Structures are given as structure tokens and as C-alpha cells.
Amino acid sequence: MSVIHVHDKQFHPFLSPGQIQDRVASIAAALNKDYESKKPLFIAILNGSFMFAADLFKRLTIETEICFIKLASYKGSRSTGHVITAIGLDNDIIGRDVVIIEDIVDTGKTLHEFLPQLYHQQPSSVRIATLLHKSEATVFPVKVDYLGFDIPDKFVIGYGLDYDGLGRNIPGIYKLAE
Ligand code: IMP
């Protein structure tokens, strides 16, 4: 891996495809064990999680389902800020064991706003699998159950993550040059 340029910025190698795949395999092994006798519903949050979700899902040997949702945030009519709606969440959630697949948890705001909506639909359980967690950037605490890498509070791209639309196709993860 070497330095790359995306738009106007320079990025340095951070996590190699091999390192990522090793962690994905470990997470899949834990999920296969923890959900052995269940039929979990995975909910992958688009766009960033598509690559992690695909690699993870391929390694699951349990009986399982997956759906993909997009969280659209818009300014509410009140000054209280953003309202998040889930587009594509058409599976019946009641009584299901749900595992959310995220690419990265940064401030935790997205999940902090989405989780109450999910709980409202009465799942039996909800766990979170995220490839990356900037735990030092946390503003809204989120309990991560399955973690790839805890990373510093730096902007990263690749393996599904973008910088202004570009970089999602890069197989490794790169960090913005200081
Ligand atoms: P949060 O709501 O602050 O936890 O942010 C979650 C979302 O912000 C992720 O799903 C990403 O879309 C985006 N994001 C946060 N950090 C990065 C990054 O370093 N690179 C690319 N996208 C990021």
C-alpha cells in the first residue's frame, strides 16, 4: 500500500486488506457462535457498510437474513435539529434478533437517533457490529458488541468509506495525511 490522492487530499495507508479480512473473519466466527440456534436479521446501514456487510455475510454459516437500509436525516421543523428516518426497513422486526452492521461509529449520533426507532418495533434483541469505532470521538455513547478496529479520531477512506463520494472501491483503509 502506498500514499494515494483523492480529490484534493492525500491519504496514507492505515489498514491493509489482509488485516481487515482477519478481523472480519473473527467477527463472523463470534457471530456464528453467538447466534448458532437463532435466525438473526442483519440490518446493514448504507452506503458505507456495503463492503463490510458483504464480506461478513459470506462468512456466516448460520441461518440468517439481511436487509439494507439508508438513514436519511433532515432538519426537523423545530430547532431541535435532525430527524432520522430509515428507508427500506420493510422486514417485520417484532421478536427478531437484530444485528446492525455499520462501517464506522464516529460521534455515535446516527445510531443514537436510530436505535430508539428500532426498539419501538419490538425486536427481541439488538446488537451492533461495526468495522471501525472512533471511540475517542464519542459524543453519544453507543454499545458496540462486535468491533473490527478502534481507531484514532482521524478521517479515513476505503473499503466502503468515502471522501466526498470517492474512495469506496479501495480494498484497504487509508488515513488523511496530517
Ligand atoms: P456518527 O453519526 O458521528 O457516528 O457518524 C457515522 C457516519 O459518519 C458513518 O456512517 C460515516 O458515513 C460517516 N463518517 C464518520 N467518520 C468517517 C470517516 O472517517 N470517513 C468516512 N466517513 C465517516
* Rounded distance from Cα 25 to ligand 1 centre (Å): 23
* Rounded distance from Cα 37 to ligand 1 centre (Å): 33
| Cα–Cα distance, 144 to 72 (Å, whole number) | 22
- What's the burial of 87, exposed, middle or buried (CB within 10 Å: 0-12/13-18/19+)? exposed
Counting from 1 in the atom list of ligand 1, the atom nearest the Cα of 176 is 19
What's the confidence (pLDDT) of residue 79?
Answer: 44
| Cα–Cα distance, 82 to 74 (Å, whole number) | 5
Domain-by-domain residue ranges, the chain? 39-176
- Name the CATH topology of 39-176: Rossmann fold (3.40.50)
Mean pLDDT of 163-171: 97
Tens of pLDDT, residue by residue over 77-120, are: 454 556 678 888 877 999 999 999 999 999 999 999 999 999 99
Q: Which of 71, 113, 149, 161 to mutate to test the pocket of ligand 1 (most atoms within 8 A of CB)?
A: 161
